[in-house]
Amino acid sequence: MPIIKEIEAKSILTKSNLPVCEYSVNPYVGCTHACKYCYASFMKQFTGHSEEWGTFLDVKRWTEIKNPRKYAGKELFIGSVTDPYNPQEEQFERTRALLEQLKDSGSKLSIATKSDLIRRDLELIKSFPNARVSWSINTLDENFREDMDSAVSIERRLAAMKKFHDAGVRTTCFISPIFPEITDVKAIIERAKTQCNLIWLENLNLRGGYKSVIMDYISEKYPQLLPLYTEIYSKNNHEYWRKLDEELRGFAANIGLDYVTNDDSLTRDFSAPPVIVNYFYHEQIKKSARKGK
């Protein structure tokens, strides 16, 4: 069982330098999905927690937002370093409280989750202009998913995505992180393309304490892939990602979907059918993705 405590937060909205938002919002500290590859695990060093990432959750309490109209037109990203719909949200309802306090503020919401608990707040989220919800899906294999996180099943995530898409909320299938030769990107795109407006692609980035965790996992469960992972993550060879980029560009063209890079994605009109956005971060891949414009 995770260690859960309630804490007082001075403010729930934090000015952000992320390119996707002006404020980041995290109703919790930590996350009980316990993803083995979680980039947010670095947050532990700033919170005073000695427990393993995924084993603790701080529930934030804050003074009610007094002037929500202050955030009219502002981009708010809910869930930058936590899942706002972790299982404990069902009990504590901190994300719902946040949405209720911001209702009619005119702020623009972007919510990232791996949960279907968000379905509870569909009508509330619909009331925000141009709200967008993204679900992280990096496999259709439930066995691999269970190895990587304790969030709800992939089918439940996809069902929630469809529910929001059918209700007119902008939805994103975030294929992240892409595990080389494990994540079947094409299969996920085929599965999700009729129920989302965007498909984001992000490659597995190994750094910090979880690099050894993932490399040990590959060594144990996929030993045949260990040479490839060593080449990518110990020798910094980017050839795999360059080839995948080219392959997915051709695949997108064959199924009639636009394929763009993060450099031009913010200027696109994301209407149906969905647009595939490549968020691979290596400079040489950005260059290759610009070819053919």
The pLDDT tens digits for 142-198 are: 999 999 999 999 999 999 999 999 999 999 999 999 999 999 999 999 999 999 999
Q: What pLDDT sits at residue 208?
A: 77
Q: Report the alpha-carbon angle 147-149-155, nearest 5.
A: 95
Q: What pLDDT sits at residue 25?
A: 95
pLDDT above 80: residue 19 = no
Q: Give the confidence band of 49 by pLDDT, cuts at 50, 70, 90.
A: confident
Q: What pLDDT sits at residue 263?
A: 59
pLDDT above 90: residue 135 = yes
Residue 53 in contact with residue 73, Cβ under 8 Å?
Answer: no
* Averaged pLDDT for residues 35-51: 76
* Averaged pLDDT for residues 6-18: 90
The pLDDT mean for the chain works out to 90
Residue 192 in contact with residue 158, Cβ under 8 Å?
Answer: yes
Q: How far apart are the C-alpha atoms of 99 and 106, rounded to whole Å? A: 12
Q: What pLDDT sits at residue 39?
A: 79
Q: Give the confidence band of 53 by pLDDT, cuts at 50, 70, 90.
A: confident
Q: How far is CA 199 from CA 54, 115, 185, 251, 270, in A?
A: 27, 17, 10, 13, 10
* Averaged pLDDT for residues 17-21: 77
Q: How far apart are the C-alpha atoms of 279 and 6, rounded to whole Å? A: 35
264 secondary structure, DSSP code: T
Q: How far apart are the C-alpha atoms of 207 and 194, rounded to whole Å? A: 34
